Amino acid sequence: MKITNKEVDYAARLARLELSAEEKEKYSAQLESILKYIDKLNELDTSGVKPTSHVMDIVNVWRKDISARSSEELVENILANAPERSGNFYKVKKIIE
Amino acid sequence: MDFETVIGLEVHAQLKTDSKIFCSCPTEFGKGENTNICPVCTGQPGVLPVLNEKAVEFIAKTGLALNCRVNTRSIFARKQYFYPDLPKNYQISQYELPVCESGFVDIKIDKETKRIRVHRIHLEEDAGKLLHAIGARELDHSLVDYNRTGVPLMEIVSEADMRSPEEAYQYLSALKNILEYLGVSDCDMEEGKFRCDANISLRPYGQKEFGTKAELKNMNTLKGVREALEHEVERQAEILSAGGKIIQETRLWDAGLGETRSMRVKEEAHDYRYFPEPDLVPIELDEKYVSAVKAGLPELPEARSNRFAAELGLSEYDASVLTSEKPLADYFEAALPEKDAAKLTANWVISELLGRLNASGTNINTSPVGPENLRGLLKLIQNGTISGKIAKTVFDDMFNTGKNAGTIVEEKGLTQISDEAALAKLCGEAIAETPKAVEEYRSGKERALGSLVGVVMKKTQGKANPGLVNKILKEKLS
Ligand SMILES: [Zn+2]
């Protein structure tokens, strides 16, 4: 599959990445070789194989519905990771709806 | 030109669990912003979500109540987009293999039953809340509160089977009622626990293909959904009649202005790049699980309505009004003194109580007269302590003061006079004082007796036992 600059642009925009012209060239070539490698897998006959949604063969890992509030200290540690904060709020750039 | 309306609805109902869907944070309102948060729901690196078993049970219950197939196997998926209310930059939802598929809800339209198909029901996590202003003060930034992030939601997607805003309204009411009966959601629309997005398009009658649709959002009441749809039918019909084209877009309902407006169209189309969630293993619900959930289903609105009609002898109309909201049906059953008083109780609940609640802008949950109190009043009517007429003034007092019926009757001396000797004396007076009515009655005008009864009632401030007064007067005049 041929990866053009346009496709790299699109993927970068979705991932919020800003790429220079050189980077776009570089990544389109790299992505193309990665996809080519994956194409190799398509040569295998998988018609008899169930689609995998999870690598481990286990199901129904559930927890009881019991609530527990985080300690103030833990909340404080989480908020410390916010890019910016205002009181107990995360503070972000103005969102216009 | 006349057009056919086509509507499909997506409902997000918050599940009534104690903890969030993938972590133990409480779902109840936080003690301030960002207090119900933990490393899992704020998407810190290296954390592992674990599914709340109650959420599985609730969605299976809902699926069975909505006549769906509960899938043996279902999986979670990541829906990816950037928005500050979504700390992980993806929402855990379901895409392929939802928990429930292919159900239906029956609604009544013009006394006919119409079946609205349910396409699918899936589980997902809620996003956080964004604040753009504090009070009236507009901020130059936005604030994020993640308390709601990770609260379990169930998305119920209907087929595009509704053909009018009224059908959409009936479908939503029926759906909300069923969820309340199941106890899986509080369904409070104003609190955002029951949200509805509507897809609506028009097409010329007879055309098979759907027209271009608009998606409506931001309706906060059931009536608001109906109004928004009615407005949108008009807007689209106007454009199409003038030869114009509908633009596929999201429109926000403005309840204040009573109109929808276009949400600014985003540059790029949504590309969520769903893929199976590697942090969560599949859900497998075998026959044993499903039949256990089925066995635990409570009585649903339709069955309760049928029971009210069959066992209590209520009319189909009364039974369906009383079961249209679970709290109302619960109230009725708690207020019912005995089986024989069903009709009396139904009348009091439907006419007197609902009338007063509507007039005072409250509802059954906050009624100043509780079901035990109403039962007390009904008992006093039944055993003849007070007449039906006095009961209405007692009820007014109960509604205003919250006192119970017995206390009011005692305090105000409203006990019905059933003393025959006393009533006979008063009847004699009435006969002497109103010769005209006596003459009319004797000449065959049965209705003239009413004015004589009225005189006795006036003398007793309405406390005389009307049945007894009738009887005594008839005896005296025969
Ligand atoms: Zn959490």
Q: How far is CA B40 from the centre of its chain?
A: 34
B190's enclosing H/E stretch is none
pLDDT of residue B25: 95
Dist CA B434 CA B453 (whole Å): 11
Closest residue on chain A to B143 (Cα): A91
Q: How far is the CA of B22 from the centre of ligand 1 (A)?
A: 7
pTM comes to 0.81
Taking contacts as CB-CB distances below 8 angstroms, the residues of chain A near B82 are 16
In chain B (478 residues long), the average pLDDT of successive 10-residue segments reads 91 96 90 92 94 97 96 94 91 95 92 93 95 85 94 97 95 94 91 92 90 90 93 92 88 88 66 91 95 93 90 89 90 87 87 87 86 85 78 84 80 75 81 84 82 81 80 82
Dist CA B456 CA B459 (whole Å): 5
Q: How far is the CA of B80 from the centre of ligand 1 (A)?
A: 20
Query: How high is the ipTM of this complex?
Result: 0.89
Please answer whether residues B68 and B103 qualify as being in contact, where contact means their C-beta atoms are separated by less than 8 angstroms. yes
- Beta-strand pair B152-158/B3-14: antiparallel
What CATH code is assigned to A5-42?
Answer: 1.10.20
Dist CA B147 CA B155 (whole Å): 20
Closest residue on chain B to A93 (Cα): B141
- Please compute Rg for chain A using Cα positions: 22
- Strand arrangement, sheet containing B100-109: B69-70, B100-109, B112-125, B152-158, B3-14, B194-204, B214-219, B249-254, B259-262
Please tell me the distance in Å from A78's CA to the nearest CA on chain B. 7
∠ at Cα B374 (B372, B376), nearest 5°?
70
Domain annotation for chain B: domains and CATH numbers: 3-290 (no CATH), 299-412 (no CATH), 420-477 (1.10.10.410)
Closest residue on chain A to B36 (Cα): A69
Minimum-distance CB partner of A61 among B18, B55, B281: B281
Which of these, B364, B314, B317, lies nearest to B339 by C-alpha position? Answer: B314
B50 burial class (0-12, 13-18, 19+ CB within 10 angstroms)?
middle
Mean model confidence pLDDT for chain A:
88
**What average pLDDT does the segment A56-80 reach?**
93
pLDDT of residue B264: 65
What's the length of chain B?
478
Exposure class string for B336-366: b at 16+ Cβ within 10 A, else e: bbeeebbeebbebbbebbbebbeeeeeebee
Taking contacts as CB-CB distances below 8 angstroms, the residues of chain B near A89 are 33-34, 131, 143-145
Q: Where are the domains of chain A?
A: 5-42
Q: How far is the CA of B25 from the centre of ligand 1 (A)?
A: 4
